[in-house]
Amino acid sequence: MKSGVTNLFVTVIGLAAALVPVNSFAALGDLYEADFFSHTIFKFTRAGTKSTFASGQSLSEELAFDRFGNLFEADGGSGTIFKFTPAGTKTTFASGLSGPFGLAFDAAGNLFVADASSGTIFKFTPAGIKSTFASGLSSPDGLAFDSSGNLFEADFSSGTIFKFTPAGSKSTFASGVGNPVGLAFEPATGIVADISTRASVQTGNQVLIAGFILTGTDPKQVIVRALGPTLTSFGVANALQNPVLELHNSTSVIATNDDWQSAANANQIPTSPVDYRPPDSRESAILITLQPGAYTAIMSGKNSTTGNALVEVYDLATSTFSQLTNVSTRGFVGPGNNVMIGGFISSGGNGSVQVIVRALGPTLTQFGVSGALADPTLSLIDGNGNVVASNDNWKNTQQTAIQNSGLAPPNDLESAILATLTNGNYTAVVSGKNGGTGVALVEVYKK
């Protein structure tokens, strides 16, 4: 399935379905359940451990999370939309509704509410300002947005699924479907996240340079790390002893760090459920919230020192409407264990993602890079150490498919692999043919 292509699934059940508990997932993977009879919202961890998140509700109908992790509940008995912070603090977001059922957030953070008794879909801005999005409906229930911002509504009494454009234009998507109540889109393909590259850090134009693009609409918090001394404990020889890190946007340096504990926000680096603090005090880290755009992390050795090092970019806000895409790293490819190793994680979506991985060398010369790797070879390896695919000279394998992707390497000696991957950890290993050395670029594109 191509990225962004989704299928709509409809729950069709009888009138008694109004008594069925409604579920919603938090960004961390916990399951929240609105229990109709007990007037309680329960929380389940991924392991199935149950706890009470909120109690004393009237008639809980629907749940939905906003981009900041706040939980919204449609309370049909009181005609109220309640808002719960991640800590469980409850406030009234909206009141005076006739019978709220379906809830859905658009990409801008506006909340849409299907008010069944009044036959209306209301729109609430993040500040709580109310307007009528659609009226004259039979009995609106479930709501769901597609990736293009169109709103789909399950109209219970008429047995119809209506589609509304972002401007509010209404059309019939499906009819004669019984009594639809629930709508859900099959997830698009997964994302490429949490990138890392290990290479030999030299001086001049042979420092380690990691590039990434944030697409979408929301700011995203990331942490960029530069590790050196830690690699020694993993058997990596000649580790860089004191890495220095710079983060650039398209025009300038926006952050720097040498020794992560010296950063003003070092105490804000997350430690749970994953500890993102570098293990060694000489290593570097930048914790920052970025707007969508292109960024470059440059890693060098303090006082022009050299050695093997690892640069990493971690996505700390996977629930936002932005994602890491088109990741790349430029570095020096040496002999033996001094090859360049690019790592990435495929996650989310429907459990798979199609990528093109490229290894460029000769092309760098035209961009003023001296000492470019003359003939790069490429291997793609999964988290179990199995070789998924390998390539030397991209036209030797998958030539037609790679050309059709629009991402064919410019030089015939460069390498490329097109692969559909299940969610997991992967590494792309770039080496020089016949032991060749030089500066190369490894890239991962999500299709």
pLDDT of residue 186: 66
Per-residue pLDDT of the chain (447 residues; tens, 9 = 90+): 233 344 555 444 433 333 334 455 544 457 888 887 778 888 888 778 888 888 877 777 788 888 777 889 998 888 999 999 888 899 999 999 988 988 998 878 899 999 988 999 999 999 999 999 999 998 898 898 886 789 999 898 888 999 999 999 999 998 888 888 788 776 555 566 678 888 899 999 899 998 888 877 778 899 999 999 999 999 999 999 999 999 999 899 999 999 999 999 999 999 988 899 999 999 999 999 999 899 999 999 999 999 999 999 988 876 555 677 777 889 999 988 789 998 888 776 666 788 899 999 999 999 999 999 999 999 999 989 999 999 999 999 999 999 998 999 999 999 999 999 888 889 999 999 999 999 999 998 887
Q: Give the integer Cα–Cα distance in Å for 316 and 423.
A: 18
Domain boundaries, given as residue ranges, for the chain: 8-185, 191-446
Q: Which of 377, 391, 385 is nearest to 425 (CA)?
A: 385
Q: Is the pTM for the entire model greater than 0.75?
A: no
Residue among 82, 290, 307 at smallest CA distance from 199: 307
Q: In Å, what is the CA distance from 248 to each residue of 140, 171, 216, 224, 284?
A: 48, 46, 19, 12, 15
The pLDDT score that the predictor gives to residue 231 is 94
CA distance 208 to 332: 7
CATH 2.120.10.30 fits 8-185, yes or no: yes
Q: Quick check: 312 and 227 in contact, CB under 8 A?
A: yes
CA proximity to 231, closest of 196, 267, 193, 269: 196
Six token digits for residue 65: 């999370």
Residue 207 in tokens: 């420092």
Q: CA-CA distance, 110 to 115, in Å (whole number)?
A: 16
Sign of the CA dihedral with 188 first, then 194, 200, and 202 last: positive
Rounded (10°) CA dihedral 407, 408, 410, 413 = 140
- Burial tier of 319 (Cβ tally within 10 Å: 0-12, 13-18, 19+): middle
Average of per-residue pLDDT values in the chain: 86
| DSSP element (H, E) containing 403 | helix 399-405
